Every structure is written in structure tokens, then in C-alpha cells.
Amino acid sequence: MTRTATDIGRGLEPARPARPIRAGERIHVLGAAGAGASAAALLAHRAGAIVSGCDAGGPSPYAPALIEAGVALVWQHSAAHVNGDHGTRPERLAVTKALTAVDPDHPELLAAREMGIPTEAWQQLVADAAASTGQTLVAVAGTHGKSTTTGWLVDLLMRAGRDPSAFVGALLDRELAGGSPSTARWGRGDVFAVEADEYAGNFDPYVPDVALLLNAEWDHPDVFADDEAVLATFEAWIRRAPEATLVANTMDPGVAVILTRLRDWPGKVVVAPSELPDGYLVGLPGPANAENARMVLGAARVLDVEDDAIRASLTSYKGVSRRMEVKGDVGGVVVLDDYGHHPTAIARTLDAVRSRYPGRRVWAIYEPLTYHRTALMLDRFAEVLSTADRVAIADIWAGRDPDTSIASAGALADAVSAQSGATAVAPGTVEETADYLAAQVEPGDVVLVMGGGRSYVIAERLVGLLARRPGRSRRA
């Protein structure tokens, strides 16, 4: 069943024009240990709000930055966080739309409704924080490559001495984040860069001064019925910013279609370079990163960044977390962690792995993200995964998907085996998958772990298991 943005965000205030956060404004963030919600909490805190947060999932890799900043966190949900039982009532709540979809009667959401406290998507809080700075808003949109490209812009602007603010959907390291690794940066320069996600209208609060459109194809089958629905969503979002400059990757077929529809749009279109000039080298591997680099160059030209800073960033940028991140090299086995969870993204990442590690046996380990995506794209997943030398499929991460009956890890493994002739396996949980791999991998192997749920546990656990093998040493 395909749902609409309204279905996903039921009970939330609709997106509105961003307004500056007031000093002392009390804001509570539900699910504050998530990648995006943690950034919203951090940015609102830096903008002068009094921010609290809760997350029943407990501490995450995104939590230390909140704790370091002094944001009050609790690891349970309770109506008392909203109704004033703790002495202070928040003036508004920020929450992920996924929670409203799977649990519209969550006790904190119910309490907010009863108290008349506005409840908004956390993206609105990011947009309000950006409005508080007066910085130029640069939004990076597209089906693939958003986190890598947004982080690249942060790196570029820092090298240019521009001290940007940012929200990125993956952890920035200490240098880029300006403190504990986090998905947010607070700067005093002239640019605020945001990753703009199309899912269920998540990017609606952002009305950018500069927009980057990397690519556009079908994804999120629980909210987009087909390619046309995706293209229409990107087009409508761009039209809401009639004074923006759009940097477009016209080499992408979906983007090319969108541009033909935008002929009457009054904004300015800048076509990203089709290739990099001589003397511009890209440090990140693979054709997808070469494409991202061309978009960074196009944005750099719009933002008047000097050539020396552009060259340095294109060559030296290390990427963001969980994007072909090397977790360890243990006994000759390289373990990589990646967020890839779409067939195109997986294909591009496998290409990049082969480019970086030519001639080595490649394992593709995938934790499918949502049952709907797995069921509707099963043949495409099987096709791209079957190009690896060995494949293992962990149990599906349901996420916001309430229907767990329409697909299974075993069915995807069977489809991969049918495509490749080699046997793909479905070992079970992420922990069981790591245990299976520890008994199977051999020196010289490259293990690429992919997924958007708890797949990172596979990579971390595997590195630990390999390090405990007798006679093995680890090079991280």
C-alpha cells in the first residue's frame, strides 16, 4: 500500500515558512538520538532555545554530541515530558514523521494534542535554526548522494574559510562538526547547508537560496507509487523557491525530465559541469563520487569559492560516516560499512569497491531497509547483489513499515542465488550474520556491509570477532 505525506505526518503541523528561533524558547525533541532529530536539537540549542529530548532506543552514535552540548536527555518516553509534570512545559515538539506513522497514539503526541502544543517535523526545527542565522540556505536534494555531497560542501567551505553551518544525514567527524562527531555544525560564516530529503515531503520546510539536484529516480515505494510521483515531488519543491539558483546534474535522466518541466520556473538554472577541468582530482573512489564532485564544483562556482579551496577539497575530502567507511583491516580482511539501501546505490558502491580493491573477492552483505522496498524492488536488488562474489542477507529492518508479511531475507537470498548461480545465504539477525561471516571470510576478502537500520552492527561485530582470531592483527 502506498501512503501519502499526509498519512506519514498525521497529527503534525504542516510545513510553514521558517522563522527564527526565539532565545529561551522551550522545545522538546522526540526521538532525539536519531540522525536527523539529534541535528535539529543541536541546532536549536545553538540558536538559543532551551532544548530537551528523549529516545526509548537509548544512546546512539548521535547522542554524545547532544550530551557534550548540555542538551537534557532521557532514555524513555513519557507524557510527563510534555504536560509539565517535570516543572516545565515545552512550547512545541519536534518529531520524526516515521513515529507518527507507526504510533499516532504515542503518549507524548497525545499529551501534546491535549495541551494544544504544536507538534512539527524535526526538519521544521532545522529550517527555523537556519532562519535564525541569516545565512544563505543551500539545500542538497536527490535520490542518492545527499549526505556525501552535503558533507563535501561543508569541507569545501571550511577550506575556503567560510565557517558554514550545516545539517548532514550522516556523522561528520570532529574536524567538520567542530566538536564531537555529529550530524550538525554551527558556524559563523555565510552559508547554511542542509541535506534535503524528499521522503513524505521532509524537505518542504526548506526554501533554499541555492538548491542542488543530484539525481531523481524511484525510491520509497511506501509513499511514491512510481517514477512520476518522485519527479513531481522534486518539481513541486523547486517551484516553492522561485528566487533560488538550481545547480542541476543534467546527465541524470530524471533531472533532465524535471528541467524540461521547469521551463517556466523563474529561478536561475546552472548546469553542473559534465566533467572536471584538468588538474582537478577526486580523492573518493567510484563514478558516483566523480558525479558528486561535479555537483560540488557547480555549487562552488555559484558560491564564489576560490579554485585553490575547490582543488584541495575535491582531492582530500574523506567522506562522511557509513559511506564506504573502513571499519578495519584484520588479518587481510577489509571490512567496510555503507548506508546503501537502494539498488542503484548498491551498484555504485560495488563499483567503487572494485575500483579501490581490484582483484579481491568481494562480499556483499545487505540488511534490507523496510519490507515494502524489498518486496517491490526484489528483482533489482537481486540483480545488483548477484554481481558480488559472495552474498549474505540479514533480517529485514522494518523501520516505519508495519507490514512484515510481504518479503523476507530468505526470499531475497533465493532471488540472488537464482540470478548468479552462486548460493546467497540469509543467516538471521545482524549479530548472527556477523558470526556467520567470521567463520567464512578469508585473507584477501573485502566485506562490504550495507543497509540503513542496524547493519552497522554487522561491521563492528565482525571486526571484533576477526581481531580475536589467534594470530590476527588489526589495522584500523
Tell me what pLDDT residue 6 has: 53
Closest CA to 340 of 330, 329, 351: 351
Mean pLDDT in the chain?
A: 91
Query: Cα–Cα distance between 214 and 295 in angstroms, integer?
Result: 7
| CB neighbour class for 410 (10 Å; exposed up to 12, middle 13-18, buried from 19) | middle
More confident residue, 74 or 342: 74
Q: What is 135-316's CATH topology? A: UDP-N-acetylmuramoyl-L-alanine:D-glutamate ligase (3.40.1190)
This prediction's pTM: 0.85
325-475 belongs to CATH 3.90.1150.10: no
Tell me what pLDDT residue 147 has: 92
Q: What is the mean pLDDT of residues 300-311?
A: 97
The CATH 3.90.190.20 portion of the chain extends over 325-475
Tell me what pLDDT residue 216 has: 93
- Which strands, in side-by-side order, build the sheet including 26-30? 72-74, 50-54, 26-30, 92-95, 119-121
Tell me what pLDDT residue 429 has: 96
**Which residues, including other chains, have CB under 8 Å from residue 272's CB and lie 6 or more apart?**
247, 248, 249, 250, 251, 294, 295, 297, 298
Q: Is the pLDDT of residue 8 over 70?
A: no
Q: What is 5-125's CATH topology? A: Rossmann fold (3.40.50)
**Choice among 5-9, 270-274, 419-423, 461-465 with the minimum mean pLDDT:** 5-9
Tell me what pLDDT residue 475 has: 44
Query: Cα–Cα distance between 138 and 135 in angstroms, integer?
Result: 9
**Confidence label for 85 from pLDDT (cuts 50, 70 and 90):** low
Output the DSSP codes for 86-121. Answer: TS---SEEEE-HHHHHH-TT-HHHHHHHHHT--EEE
More confident residue, 153 or 287: 153
Question: What does R_g of the chain's alpha carbons equal in angstroms?
Answer: 22
Query: Cα–Cα distance between 472 and 7 in angstroms, integer?
Result: 51
Query: Cα–Cα distance between 123 and 36 in angstroms, integer?
Result: 8
Characterise 324 by phi-psi region: left (phi > 0), alpha (psi -120 to 50), beta (else): left
Tell me what pLDDT residue 452 has: 80
Q: Is the pLDDT of residue 40 over 80?
A: yes
Characterise 186 by phi-psi region: left (phi > 0), alpha (psi -120 to 50), beta (else): beta
Query: Cα–Cα distance between 95 and 30 in angstroms, integer?
Result: 5
The CATH 3.40.1190.10 portion of the chain extends over 135-316
The CATH 3.40.50.720 portion of the chain extends over 5-125
Q: Is the pLDDT of residue 474 over 70?
A: no
DSSP reduced 3-state for 401: coil
Tell me what pLDDT residue 400 has: 66
Q: How much of the chain, in percent, has pLDDT values that exceed 70?
A: 95
Amino acid symbol at 254: G
